[in-house]
A and B are shown apart, each in its own frame.
Chain A
Amino acid sequence: MARVRGPFDTALPPVAGWLIPVLSVMAGSLLTLIPWIASFPVLPPFGLLLLLGWRLGRPNALPIWSALPLGMFDDLFSGQPFGSAIFLWSVSALIIDLLEQRLVSRDFRQDWLLAAAAIAVCIIIGRLAAAPIEARVDIAIGLQIIVSIMLYPLTATLCAMLNRERTLV
């Protein structure tokens, strides 16, 4: 009978412990492989959404430095200038960690707010780094930010479901 691992059970097997979170974030980054030629930025950054889902929902699943290699993987497929996801993802992870140390209580809406701020900052700074100021992408970027923020609960739920799989005894 499968049940969720409790505090007195044996430790997680190391591979299942980190492989599921890592593979899920990488799969999110690989969504740009879908056969579709977009004419403006529409696809939400699913890699970032899943990383935030893991870091905010299950902080022990991925170490904080994992934002570096996962960001590099995302940079290989996103089309943004190389280094932008490594930089933005690791800085978001660090800032979220700093803020969480000062927060007293925890609930999902607070996580959502933190994720929303991280998503907006990452997309806006990514846009400034990738395209010249006069490019008319701001409306599309705004829509992309809104859609991504609305999708965060979904990816957080996905992380929770995957975490359940991960921690079953």
Chain B
Amino acid sequence: MKLIIAYIQPERLNAVKQALYDREIFKMSVTNALGCGQQKGYHESYRGADVEVNLLKKIRIEIAVNDPYVQPTLDGIIAGARTNTIGDGKIFVLDLPECIRIRTGETGSDAIG
């Protein structure tokens, strides 16, 4: 079992969700995040003074998957999020030792579904 964490551009979320749905991956968790990598932010000014804004808005997606689904998930995220510009994001793949469904108490691969 793996936990896949991806940081993407906010406006790519719909495309990523669609790409994942196309690959039969429906379960995910989405949060808003601030961050930056090589994009160092953008320039604002207010009443004559310059403002440095260097944390940009991102979307963080977390998906727990069984091993056969790891590659389709990665493909889906990349397909939806890639725009070939700086700021497309990063994906982290973590090992997931345990997963439990709260409602039924199932554990392991069954819980991930």
- Is chain B a partner of chain A in the same complex? no
